[in-house]
Structure 1
Amino acid sequence: MNITYLIGSVMATGFILLGMMFTSVDGAMTVVPSQVANFFDPSSIMITVGCTLAVVIASFPAKMLKSMPKHFKIMLNTKKFNPMYYIEELTELATVARKNGLLALEEKANQQQDPFFKQAIMLIVDANDPDKVRGILNNDIECMSCRHDDVAGMYEKASSVAPAFGMVGTLVGLINMLKNMNMDAGGSSSIGTDMGTALITTLYGCILAHMVFNPIASNLRSRDEEEVLCKMIIVEGITSIQAGENPKFLKEKLLTFMAQKQRDASMTTGKGKKSKD
């Protein structure tokens, strides 16, 4: 579970609600919960939230939009990709290959739940050219990363659109206020409402951009970097096994993908375990 995202989101929501409640009464700061209602404005919601969602829907294919629940699941799961698991598995595969040959890895491949890992093993079991194996696997990584970039880009698009519609709402509120500034006809009664809409839409735009969409995009890019790292380890490990490298040397080489602290931890904790989705 992505604890930092949840903690940050809750803290940001809490702080902004407290800020809305604080007011000065007789020179003393007081919390007035009822003031939160001042920041609810249907017109602002329709302009900022509604238009932002509409532009995102218009800008991206239905297939990507339907996958939004999946995006949240990926974003919240920080333990899906465990590099140490793959390093240990590749070291074990190298040991089996040196003892029994590459054909003995076919059984190990069928036990893998990761499709990419299984494909990589089968490519060397089928005695493909090493350069072709590396090329196929690297192309898979590049295409995957492009797809992930498109997904993160969708939330970044929403992050850039929300403040823009916040400004649109501000203009709408100001226009209505100026149109209704006929004091003789009693138009001054709507000035407060129109000005409130003008300001609240900007607030909604900032909240959507910086408290909702930006954190989602950042977390999705982090998950992509973690997955790419694991797949790079697989590519390097598989090609090294095909070249017949020593298992101990292979492990040392793959550990160079990790930070020094993680390398030291691997020496004391033993075999890594793959986290469940």
Structure 2
Amino acid sequence: MDLATLLGLVLGFTLIILAIITSADLGLFFNLPGILLVMGGTFSAALIKFRVQSYLVGIKEGFATAFFERNDNPREIIALANRLSRIARRNGLLGLEDEPIDNPFFQKGVQMCVDGSAPEFIQEVLQKEMLLTIERKSIGERVFRAFGDLSPAFGMIGTLVGLVAMLNNLDDPTKLGPGMAIALLTTFYGSLMAQLVFIPLADKLEMKGDELRNNMALIVDSVMGIYNGMNPQVLDELLETYLPEYQRGAVNMTEEIE
């Protein structure tokens, strides 16, 4: 569970609700026609932008990635690569066959090394899987980005609808209130959902996608370094280029060859 995502949403909505109830009746901010117009319009317009399968997969992947998926720590990947390279230099690539590797992508690359595949083939397969995985993950970010772009626009459309209803009933004062409510609340709904939900989630998905791309590229270099029998210290120096400056040199290198 990504606690930052959950905490941000809960805290944001809680503070907004508290701000409303300390100054007005919370019920005044509930307008079903306005909600239907903004949310229905946003989801419908986004559906036009994507294929049905991509739309549904994007929503599912988006929520799953934003709330539940956690990328591996690059330092842990480098430490694992260091350990595997020491074992491979001592026992050969076949010595890696029974080594526990939690990351499926890393496991696949090591298994291809153990199976004796050509290095060019291993690199090609891993890079192709990396590109396709990133592409599949990015659909969630694009869908939520579309939601964030569309919801304020439909908030403004709701404002126009409310103004038309209000101006059309100037002779009946009892209908001015509902028309004004739709005119103002739809803008509120559209802006709130865009700025508190859709755009932050899209940014979180983009950030996690960048982390995943970095980790997968790191794993590709790790596998190729292990396959080529690279010295563990040299391999560490190569892989640490994926880390920011302040994290370099802190990777666990205490394992000794038995």
Q: Deviations over 1:170-190 (max 9, x none)?
A: 111111112212x2xxx2220
Report the counterpart of residue 8 of structure 1 in structure 2: 8
Contact 2:66/2:205, CA 8 A, preserved across alignment: yes
Q: Cα deviation per residue 1:158-213 (whole Å; 9 max; x = unaligned)?
A: 111111111111111111112212x2xxx222012101111111110001111111
Amino acid at match of 1:99: R
2:251 is the alignment partner of 1:266: yes
Q: Secondary structure at the match of 1:37?
A: helix
Matches within 5 A, 1:111-260: 111-181=100-170, 183=171, 187-260=172-245
Instruction: Tell me which amino acid in the other structure corresponds to 1:242.
Output: Y
Runs of 4+ in 1 over 4 A off after TM superposition: none
Matched residue, 1:25: none
Aligned to 1:84: 75
Which is greater in Rg? Answer: 1
Task: Tell whether the 8 Å contact from 2:142 to 2:202 is kept in structure 1 after alignment.
Answer: yes
The reply to whether residue 49 of structure 1 matches residue 39 of structure 2 is yes
Say if 2:152 and 2:190, in contact at 8 Å, map to a contact too: yes
1:74 pairs, out of 53, 65, 70, with 65
Aligned equivalents of 1:19, 1:149: Cα separation in 2: 35
Between 201-210 and 113-122, the greater mean CA deviation after superposition: 113-122
How far the C-alpha of 1:6 sits from its partner, in A, is 3.2
Please state if 1:20 is matched with 2:29: no
Change (3 A) 1:88 1:266: closer
RMSD over aligned Cα atoms: 2.4
The one-letter code of the counterpart of 1:244 is G
Alpha-carbon deviation of 1:47? Answer: 0.4
- Which residue identity is paired with 2:124? G
* Percent identity between the two aligned chains: 30
Question: Counterpart of 2:117 in 1: which secondary structure?
Answer: coil
Q: So what's the TM-score if we normalise by structure 1? A: 0.82
Unaligned runs of 5+ in 1: 22-30, 272-277
Kindly provide the amino acid, as one letter, of the partner of residue 191 in structure 2. Answer: C
Task: Give the aligned length.
Answer: 254
Cα deviation for residue 7 of structure 1 reads 3.5
Residues 145 and 224, structure 1, Cα contact 8 Å, conserved in 2: yes
For normalisation by structure 2, the TM-score amounts to: 0.87
Amino acid at match of 1:95: R
